[in-house]
Amino acid sequence: MFLDCFVCKGHYYLVLELLNKTLLDFLNERDLKPLHVMKIRPIAAQMLIALEALKRIEMVHTDIKLDNIMFDFCNMHSTLKVKLTDFGCAAKVSDMVDKDKIQVVGYRAPEVILGLPMTEAVDMWSLGAVLGTLFVGRHFYPTVSEYEQLRIIVRMQGLPRDHLLKAGRKARRYFTESHDSSGQKKYSCKAEKKDTKVFISLLKRMLHMDPKIRITPREALGHDFITMKHLKCRKTAL
């Protein structure tokens, strides 16, 4: 929350509310123990509201990660109140065409790695990686290199579609085109409980390889995982 601003010795200062820990701190304090999907839901909902607000003003955060999501709560029984912080790398959507590399490895959207046009959808990918990390208790994608991240993405979600590989300026760094014996080009995650299945459904849409198809904040806010529609008992006539 913005509280005040002032100038001192030619420097501009912003006074913001005091937040005492990041999601990374929180995970480390738990010894990387995964969060239950019920705990992830309020975090996801609040972050999606933040992304929807950014989308309305045509801004992209470009650096969403565990370190840049902070919260504070009075006790362990309180609802986690999450705030998106560190807008030092934020940019207008119209300025994204001039950027070549954004986001840290592990949270970097495939369109950034492949050299495709970038939009606010890159933030949705990063948020998906954050939520996945909370769910498994470790980085959802490798943070060592783009190659390792892309390799795991392909293993988990399959190859990017042909039109993405053809359009990507940097796609040839990671993929070569070949054909199988039939002449065709050669260029999955189940859960038992209904709530977990719905969470994974949202995660897949947030982590869709094609940014044009990737779910938007408004769509995500209406997803069953956020609305809990799948958990609400239907009223029957007596």
Q: Active-site residue numbers?
A: 63
Give the residue from 135, 138, 133, 140 showing the smallest Cα distance to 39: 135
Long-range contacts at 149-154 (CB < 8 A, ≥ 24 apart): 149/105, 149/106, 149/108, 149/113, 150/110, 150/113, 150/174, 153/110, 153/209
Phi, psi of 171 (to 5 degrees): -60, -35
Give the residue from 156, 236, 155, 159 showing the smallest Cα distance to 203: 156
Rounded Cα gap, residues 134 and 136, in angstroms: 6
* Burial (Cβ within 10 Å: 0-12, 13-18, ≥19) of residue 48: buried
